[in-house]
């Protein structure tokens, strides 16, 4: 608004002087948020995954291993996934029941590196899914006969949170949810995005955080840090090894194949 009034003054539509620009008298309203992110260890995430079936299992692995936003996950079509190139393209998002072209930020609208293990999980889910054509949504709503993706809030309420409770990761007392004795106010897909950041930081993968999570800014790292594709896959593979080791015995052979291909 300030720019608009300044432009009007430059065009002679308003008198010059700060006193004629009402934006100068606007005071910001202080606001605070009580949101506290919850972070899970890889072991806790694995426990939650072991309580899930398809397609919720693959949905959670995707977020936990790539840091993909829920809106991006739900907007995926099978044509966005290339097993040959080992990549997932973010072309649209699904927000509040509506599809939106593009992504949250310029950097978000990019390519997500896809490890062999992740590619195999998606291939297996596609073989099971009723909606497997290239233009179908990867996680289509059966209730809506595939016309739209599933609603993320319902997936969290009906599957993710109950799985965390069954796994013993979340404890319910008097209708409230706790982790380690602390009250949990919000728990969902974004929890696992936060967790991925923590895992990468703890394992000295700092240069890959911005590249993998596709953030526009990351104050603690250099603004111009870029990750090589092989490095991103290596970091993603290290996370996947912790998450799907129990359910996918071919992981080691895939890792050896990937290593040989990049050597």
> 48-97, pLDDT tens digit by residue?
999 999 999 999 999 888 888 899 999 999 999 998 888 999 998 998 88
The per-residue pLDDT for 100 is: 86
The per-residue pLDDT for 251 is: 43
Domain boundaries, the chain: 42-262
The per-residue pLDDT for 191 is: 87
pLDDT higher than threshold 70 for residue 250? no
The per-residue pLDDT for 48 is: 92
> 185-224, pLDDT tens digit by residue?
888 888 888 787 777 766 654 444 444 544 444 443 333 2
Rg (CA), the chain: 22
Give the tokens for residue 255: 């890792």
> 125-138, pLDDT tens digit by residue?
999 999 999 999 99
User: Average pLDDT over the chain, rounded to whole?
Assistant: 75
The per-residue pLDDT for 112 is: 86
pLDDT higher than threshold 70 for residue 156? yes
Model confidence at 258, in pLDDT bands (50, 70, 90)?
very low
The per-residue pLDDT for 201 is: 64
Average pLDDT over residues 223-244: 57
Average pLDDT over residues 14-34: 59
The per-residue pLDDT for 232 is: 54
Which has the higher per-residue pLDDT, 167 or 19? 167
Please state, in angstroms and rounded to a whole number, the distance separating the CA atoms of residues 67 and 214.
Answer: 9
CATH architecture of 42-262: Orthogonal Bundle (1.10)
Model confidence at 225, in pLDDT bands (50, 70, 90)?
very low
């Amino acid at each position: 608004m300030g720019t608009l009034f300044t432009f009007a003054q430059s065009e002679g539509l308003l008198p010059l002087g700060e006193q004629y620009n009402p934006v100068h008298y606007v005071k910001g309203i202080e606001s605070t948020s009580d949101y506290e992110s919850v972070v899970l260890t890889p072991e806790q995430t694995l426990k939650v995954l072991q309580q899930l079936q398809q397609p919720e299992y693959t949905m959670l692995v995707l977020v936990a291993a790539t840091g993909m936003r829920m809106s991006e996950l739900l907007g995926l079509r099978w044509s966005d996934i290339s097993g040959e190139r080992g990549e997932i393209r973010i072309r649209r998002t699904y927000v509040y029941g509506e599809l939106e072209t593009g992504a949250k930020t310029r950097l978000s609208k990019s390519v997500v590196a896809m490890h062999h293990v992740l590619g195999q999980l998606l291939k297996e889910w596609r073989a099971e899914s009723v909606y497997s054509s290239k233009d179908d949504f990867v996680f289509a709503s059966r209730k809506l006969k595939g016309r739209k993706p599933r609603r993320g809030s319902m997936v969290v309420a009906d599957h993710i949170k109950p799985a965390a409770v069954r796994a013993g990761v979340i404890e319910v007392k008097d209708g409230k949810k706790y982790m380690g004795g602390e009250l949990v106010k919000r728990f969902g897909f974004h929890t696992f995005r936060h967790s991925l950041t923590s895992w990468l930081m703890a394992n000295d993968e700092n240069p890959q955080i911005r590249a993998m999570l596709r953030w526009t800014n990351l104050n603690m790292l250099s603004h111009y840090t870029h990750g090589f594709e092989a490095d991103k896959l290596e970091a993603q593979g290290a996370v996947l090894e912790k998450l799907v080791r129990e359910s996918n015995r071919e992981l080691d052979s895939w890792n050896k194949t990937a290593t040989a291909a990049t050597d």
